[in-house]
Structure 1
Amino acid sequence: MSRIVLPAIDQTPEASRPVLDAVTRQLKMTPNLFRIMALSPNALNGWAGLQGALMKTFDVKIRDGIALAVSQVNGCQYCLSAHTYVAGNMANIADDEIRRNRLGHADNPRTAAAVAFARTLMQTRGKVSEDDLRTVRAAGFSDANIVEIIALSAQYMLTNFINNTFDTEIDFPVVDSEVA
């Protein structure tokens, strides 16, 4: 049961509306996560700025793989459900690949390195090993790319923490937080 009253769109601060409108246009709905984030225009607009900049990094399969791996480690059922829906329906990622991403794996070696690094980053709270860095660099990621993987992971962690804190009602097809 949700631990917050979801505001109606017209009850959100005016400064949050441009981001809410953009999300609604893109997804054809206003996810509950964004209704909660809209309570703080600073948080929502800060997230949107980071998300907009990071959309220019990597391809969608790497970004979605990182989202799935991070959300799995953080046990965020809302984000797992949302990212599974987006990965499968908007990015055309196969169900089996989504499952592998959640576990920190991928078919493509470059995607696998990024997803594994993001998973390890979350599990170790950023205290990755020299071997972890060596592995992601060997897959062709520059140090700038590693910073981008960290930034993407932090962006997804933010939404994981909001949803885990408020036990946000899931408004996507529900995905079990346990991997089959």
Structure 2
Amino acid sequence: MLKVPDIATGNDAMSFHNNMNSLKASDNDNSIGTFGNMMIDMLPEDLTFTVFLPSKTAFECDLRLNTSGSLVGEKMNDTYAIISRVLGFSAIPRVLYSNMVPAGKEVSYDSLSGFKLFVSKDEGGVLVANGVKLERVDMRRGKLVVHVIDGVIMDAEFEQSVQPDFDEDDRLKLGTISWYI
């Protein structure tokens, strides 16, 4: 069962966040970030899991989460909901180190939510999960194995819910409107 903490609102909202444990990577890497630590802290420490954790950039670009706006007031509950949903897609209840994935073969696992994760190695030996390359592999915290992925693993329905809503003016600025004759 996932551990979703009670969230305080008002001035005490950040005190919970500031007291969370950080991932202890063997090389003291700081690539996990605030939202990564929040996601990892939702898993029980006494059970074995492998987590394909979005990078700090992926949390910001793909999920539109940032520490200055997503961890304040009413937005804190929305942030936890998003992170717990992503955790369900990107955690498997077993240990999976990069050296356990055979070269040239794809292995599949059911995530906590039942979403299929397909893991393989590309020609250069880089680990890939659901078509997205991993930035960091085989980091540990207790019984957890953490791989940092250069994206977010999610199903199509959830992806649609976190995509920005563009109106016609936005699409014109981005050059994405197709003109029909």
TM-score by length of 1: 0.29
Give the TM-score normalised by structure 2: 0.29
Q: Which has the higher contact order (CA 8 A, sep 6+)?
A: 1
The structure where helix makes up a greater share of residues is 1
Larger relative strand fraction = 2
